[in-house]
Structure 1
Amino acid sequence: MKSIQLTLFMFLSISVTYAQLPPKNPFLIDSPFSAVHNGSYRQGNSSLPGLNSNDEITVSFASTPRNKVSPWLLYSESYPDESHTIWGSTSTHIFKAISTETEFKVISKYRINYNPMINDLSWSLLLLENHQVLTYDDNKLYLFGEKDNTDPRSEIILIKTIELPKNISTVSKLCRLYDGTIAFASSKGLIGILDSNDFSIKTIYQIPLERKEKAYHNDYAADENGNIFISTTKKMLCVQWNGTTITPKWEVLMDFGGNRFQGIGTTPTLLGSGTHDKLVCVVDSKKPARMLTFWRDNIPIDWKGIKGENKRVAAITDLPGAMVPNKINTAVENSPTAYGYEIVCAQYNGFLGQSCKNKKGVYKLKWYEKNNTMKIVWHRYDINLNNVITYSIASNMIYGSGREADCNYYYYALDWETGKTVKKFNLGDNKKYDDPGNANIIGPDRSIIFNSKKGLIRLRPR
């Protein structure tokens, strides 16, 4: 795995500008898909090749504990035999699965939450070295491991429980920062930093919130300078961890649309690095939805701003036809996938199940440094990708699934440059294939795995 990644990194470093590759976070584990959105920049891309136009596939299903599966699946670091396991969580359990040529199943699980109506556990987990996993439930952190961390089939064990202060309720959104510390969020607008050795709290910062303002639903992004980018229901903001404390850097009040349940929509996605333009993007819930782009660092001296907007707003780009599907959802809930200054997002149809006549829309946008504009490169109104989209740099394709008018679920591979369908797989009409907004992870064998409310779905090339 390390040699493959090194070769790809060298190739990409030669063939593209530095701005297209976020700085490597040295504290993320070495794995095919190591963290939520596959990195602290939250770009959701992968250097591994995925399915291609010549593939025929085998579709496999693996049942998970209960029927509430989290949006996130992550690959472990490699074992001595060079294999990997896949970790995930439901509203009640953390679990581990294996995927080989002959097997695809959950091999171990550990129950945490005894109230299946509470959905706290089903959002985020952080993979650490030595096959350890950090997750949470309410105001507790749980550190898991394996009885034998050299054996992928080994049973999950609870290593440690860390109880946080009672004022920190509903912990969520774990993120490994570039200095190795671990950031978390909580439902009251608190951002905390944990020591990576004993998980003690180093500092806590309270996001200033207005009445009914929420800063909990979306994940957040972090860069190599300790900056953390957060979207609430009423503003976009940046705070900075300097190794000792968290201090506010900037905030922009905006009317994002949305609703009291979910607010703005997507997790912030970072574009640009090095000496190039540094941006942070989110999609709001106006009608139609808009891609909002902000200067995440210093605002260029020659930037005149957009009339009527805060000067930190770099672009506001309408997504034609992107509409809120119902009262409790946003138009583009699932975070985009990005590479360089190009970013792709899609219409969302909710987590309760896609209808046969759902709303369509996939959009690719690009930031042009020369004239400081964000423009739509292509868009499609004929398909829906209801998942957190994944882009393969090696294959130059976007992957995702949705339901069509014939009531079948289809899995798509789209060309990154044009948006045209490269390959389309008919999964059938069984609702177990309904992806309510989850990550699609690419494995070392080019398999793609995503989760539904019923279990894990694997598309493996034959």
Structure 2
Amino acid sequence: MNLKIKNIGLLMMLMGTLLYSGCIEKNKNEKVAEGVEEQTSKVSHLLPPANPFLIANSSYPSVHSNPAQSDVTKWATWNENVDIKEENTQWLPWVTSIGTVHRPYPNGEEALFVSGTNKIGKIKITNGVFEWVDEVVVPGYEYEVPSEDAIRATVDEMIAGGTDESKYLPPYANHVKAIKQSSANIGNGIYTMMDNEGNYFCGFGTSIFKVSDKNPGDVNSEIEIVKAFDVKDGVTPEEAKQISRIFALGMTYDGYIAVAMPGIIAVLDRNLENMQYIILEGEAVDNGISIDDTGGIYCVTSKYMRKIVWDGKKISDKEEDGAWKSPYDYVPNPKALSRGSGNTPSLMGFGPDEDHLVFVADAGEDISAVAFWRDEIPEDFEQKEGTKSRRIADQIKLTIDVPATIEWSPHIYGNGVMMMASAWPDPVYDENGKLAIFETVLTAGITREPPTGVEKWSWDKETYSLKSDWTLQRGLQWALYPVSATSNTVTLTIAEEGNYSLQTVDWDTGKEISTTNLGNNPIFNTAGGLFIPIDENRIYITGVMGPVMIHKE
């Protein structure tokens, strides 16, 4: 084991300890989630250890907020009701913009680096500014996309269409064709991160791109692609045939890049050189990876939940090196976008006295939340009835209705884990009978039934078991908003009856605290993206029609 990595992780973990208190006052307008008594909570949780090789002081240095992929932010949520008006909204019409990193600069300047359908851009956000600094087209994706005016016209048509699908959907379907967006390239630019030197990494096709400021440290600097590497070039021609579309990028705690895609998981340095890899023959990887501070890389495939080990010199899937794999329940479902589990594994437990677990939702006949032991399995642990292996610490069936699997990664804070319905009850199919992913996402909650239901559990280390804490039956858009460690809340991205909103609830009880009403504008739909708090006053939205910033004041 790499002792240097472990020591850094321990130091960062202790620095990351956060004490918060949450107190919910009774109110006749509050809704209480199923099975929850009114309570006041005051607990202390260790956050995932900060990775010293990710950009420092960032509100969002990598996808899902941290290497554990737990979706936790330090920023407090908006705990009062807010109506977002036009003057509180800034929008830059662009292509679909999911991959995002928040980049702080010296002297208080700030920018966002974003990846879209075929572009990489930089947005200055200092002191209320929200404007493009620069953009570059990704090599191999040089084609024209609609102008800002054309995108604004599309949005106006959609708003005018309201909940009448015959008027609402056609302008958007035409837009999707114009930007050449599809399920085949949905992974492009999603999993992004920035290292401690300000280099931005993103993936398109089977290639990794390294993007930097031309003038390092200057918020107003143009950007450039300084290097690119096609993962297929690092393997044999026969192995390359098994590899397709990039999905996952992550940073190890000793500063290497981990990458996973159907057929392969690999590690290479930040100069995009010296790649080591493991071929995952016949295994699809359709989501992200999580990384711990002792060299563990967690990847769910269409066959197994896996722990791969990186010791600073070599990558291994051998048990003698601490790696493992476990089967889980999986039944292919045509309503699922992903093959296998479909969600990014998320880590729980970061202290020496905590159980160290990794969570996914499975894809069985009845969908379950599944916890796997990350490290050694306790000697007194007996395999649970109905589980595929002793590596599974527990699994518990969801009580919310999920027609396929949970496409979204779990939210994890302390000993709590939350999952949201994210498969569609009524998807849109194209003229060839194939799932039209973007049209489906844009109609859910507007002209068609949305994914409905949120469920949260807690892990009991004494009984090695999960118990359900609460559920809420709300219609959701396909988006994530992180848990607030400061407020002890989580915010749900609601899409119901043609309207978008943010519903903040208490993490422990599920009590509804506040609503941020966004309205019916499709710019607030992320099409599989994220709501990213930049500070207490600003929330960035990776909008389907381009980047959006909302603010309270």
Match in the other structure for 2:545: 454
Task: Write the deviation string for residues 51-74 of structure 1: whole angstroms up to 9, x where unpaired.
Answer: 2226565541422533x332x322
Query: How far does residue 7 in structure 1 lie from its aligned partner after superposition?
Result: 12
Match in the other structure for 2:276: 203
Q: Which moved more, 1:340-349 or 1:351-360?
A: 351-360
Task: Write the deviation string for residues 10-42 of structure 1: whole angstroms up to 9, x where unpaired.
Answer: 653998556x32222221111111111111111
Pick from 343, 353, 356: which aligns with 1:266? 343
- Structure 1 residue 355 and structure 2 residue 445: aligned? yes
Pick from 356, 365, 376: which aligns with 1:298? 376
User: Closer, same or farther in 2 for the Cα pair 1:323/1:370, shift >3 Å?
Assistant: same
Determine if contact 1:289/1:318 at 8 Å carries over to the other structure.
Answer: yes
Match in the other structure for 1:114: 142
Rounded Cα–Cα distance in structure 1 between residues aligned with 2:90 and 2:365: 37
Pick from 358, 377, 399: which aligns with 1:280? 358
- Structure 1 residue 41 and structure 2 residue 68: aligned? yes
Query: How far does residue 449 in structure 1 lie from its aligned partner after superposition?
Result: 1.4
- Equivalent pairs counted in the alignment come to 442
User: Closer, same or farther in 2 for the Cα pair 1:234/1:247, shift >3 Å?
Assistant: same
Regions of 4+ moved over 4 Å? 5-11, 13-18, 54-58
Query: How far does residue 193 in structure 1 lie from its aligned partner after superposition?
Result: 0.9
Match in the other structure for 1:427: 518
Match in the other structure for 1:253: 327
Rounded Cα–Cα distance in structure 2 between residues aligned with 1:461 and 1:6: 32
Q: Letter of the aligned partner of 2:392 in structure 1?
A: V
**Aligned-partner SS, 2:64:** helix
- Structure 1 residue 22 and structure 2 residue 87: aligned? no
Determine if contact 2:247/2:287 at 8 Å carries over to the other structure.
Answer: no
Determine if contact 1:234/1:255 at 8 Å carries over to the other structure.
Answer: no
Task: Write the deviation string for residues 188-238 of structure 1: whole angstroms up to 9, x where unpaired.
Answer: x21111112x221241111243xxx41x21111111121111111122111
Match in the other structure for 2:165: none
User: Closer, same or farther in 2 for the Cα pair 1:421/1:104, shift >3 Å?
Assistant: farther
Match in the other structure for 2:19: 12
Query: How far does residue 183 in structure 1 lie from its aligned partner after superposition?
Result: 0.7
Match in the other structure for 2:160: none
Q: Letter of the aligned partner of 1:224 in structure 2?
A: D
Pick from 282, 297, 303: which aligns with 1:234? 303
Match in the other structure for 1:104: 130
- Structure 1 residue 437 and structure 2 residue 528: aligned? yes
Query: How far does residue 95 in structure 1 lie from its aligned partner after superposition?
Result: 1.2
Determine if contact 1:148/1:154 at 8 Å carries over to the other structure.
Answer: yes
Match in the other structure for 1:327: none
Match in the other structure for 1:84: 110
User: Closer, same or farther in 2 for the Cα pair 1:6/1:54, shift >3 Å?
Assistant: farther
Q: Max radius of gyration: which structure?
A: 2
Rounded Cα–Cα distance in structure 2 between residues aligned with 1:242 and 1:102: 43
Q: Letter of the aligned partner of 1:191 in structure 2?
A: I
- Structure 1 residue 69 and structure 2 residue 76: aligned? no
Query: How far does residue 283 in structure 1 lie from its aligned partner after superposition?
Result: 1.1
Query: How far does residue 383 in structure 1 lie from its aligned partner after superposition?
Result: 4.0
Pick from 53, 59, 71: which aligns with 1:32? 59
User: Closer, same or farther in 2 for the Cα pair 1:7/1:455, shift >3 Å?
Assistant: farther
Rounded Cα–Cα distance in structure 2 between residues aligned with 1:265 and 1:131: 31
Rounded Cα–Cα distance in structure 2 between residues aligned with 1:334 and 1:224: 23
Rounded Cα–Cα distance in structure 1 between residues aligned with 2:364 and 2:549: 35
Rounded Cα–Cα distance in structure 2 between residues aligned with 1:400 and 1:13: 21
Q: How does 1:293-372 map to 2 (within 5 A)?
A: 293-309=371-387, 310-324=389-403, 330-349=404-423, 351=438, 352=440, 353=442, 354-356=444-446, 357-372=449-464
Query: How far does residue 412 in structure 1 lie from its aligned partner after superposition?
Result: 1.7
Task: Write the deviation string for residues 217-273 of structure 1: whole angstroms up to 9, x where unpaired.
Answer: 111111112111111112211111122222222111222234475121210011012
Determine if contact 2:215/2:221 at 8 Å carries over to the other structure.
Answer: yes
Query: How far does residue 358 in structure 1 lie from its aligned partner after superposition?
Result: 1.9
- Structure 1 residue 243 and structure 2 residue 272: aligned? no
Gaps of 5+ in 1: 325-329
Query: How far does residue 426 in structure 1 lie from its aligned partner after superposition?
Result: 2.1
The answer to which structure has the higher helix fraction is 2
TM-score, normalised to structure 1, is: 0.88
Query: How far does residue 182 in structure 1 lie from its aligned partner after superposition?
Result: 1.0
Determine if contact 1:390/1:399 at 8 Å carries over to the other structure.
Answer: yes
Determine if contact 1:62/1:106 at 8 Å carries over to the other structure.
Answer: no
Q: Which moved more, 1:282-291 or 1:81-90?
A: 282-291
Query: How far does residue 295 in structure 1 lie from its aligned partner after superposition?
Result: 0.9
**Aligned-partner SS, 1:95:** strand
Q: Letter of the aligned partner of 1:268 in structure 2?
A: P
**Aligned-partner SS, 1:455:** coil
Determine if contact 1:124/1:174 at 8 Å carries over to the other structure.
Answer: yes
Q: Letter of the aligned partner of 1:161 in structure 2?
A: A
Q: Letter of the aligned partner of 2:445 in structure 1?
A: S
Rounded Cα–Cα distance in structure 1 between residues aligned with 2:276 and 2:20: 37
User: Closer, same or farther in 2 for the Cα pair 1:11/1:121, shift >3 Å?
Assistant: closer
Query: How far does residue 185 in structure 1 lie from its aligned partner after superposition?
Result: 1.5
Task: Write the deviation string for residues 314-366 of structure 1: whole angstroms up to 9, x where unpaired.
Answer: 11111113312xxxxx4421112111111112111555321343231011111
TM-score, normalised to structure 2, is: 0.74
Rounded Cα–Cα distance in structure 2 between residues aligned with 1:199 and 1:409: 40
Pick from 170, 179, 185: which aligns with 2:254? 179
Query: How far does residue 385 in structure 1 lie from its aligned partner after superposition?
Result: 5.4
Match in the other structure for 1:192: 266
Rounded Cα–Cα distance in structure 1 between residues aligned with 2:328 and 2:345: 15
- Structure 1 residue 381 and structure 2 residue 448: aligned? no
Pick from 194, 202, 216: which aligns with 1:127? 194
**Aligned-partner SS, 2:452:** coil
Rounded Cα–Cα distance in structure 1 between residues aligned with 2:122 and 2:401: 36
Determine if contact 2:458/2:467 at 8 Å carries over to the other structure.
Answer: yes
Q: CA RMSD in A?
A: 2.6
Q: Letter of the aligned partner of 1:339 in structure 2?
A: Y
**Aligned-partner SS, 1:382:** strand
Rounded Cα–Cα distance in structure 2 between residues aligned with 1:101 and 1:349: 38
Q: Letter of the aligned partner of 1:292 in structure 2?
A: V
Q: Which moved more, 1:314-323 or 1:146-155?
A: 146-155
Determine if contact 1:400/1:440 at 8 Å carries over to the other structure.
Answer: no
User: Closer, same or farther in 2 for the Cα pair 1:185/1:145, shift >3 Å?
Assistant: same
User: Closer, same or farther in 2 for the Cα pair 1:234/1:162, shift >3 Å?
Assistant: closer
Determine if contact 1:346/1:386 at 8 Å carries over to the other structure.
Answer: no
The answer to which structure has the higher strand fraction is 1
Determine if contact 2:17/2:47 at 8 Å carries over to the other structure.
Answer: no
User: Closer, same or farther in 2 for the Cα pair 1:430/1:21, shift >3 Å?
Assistant: closer
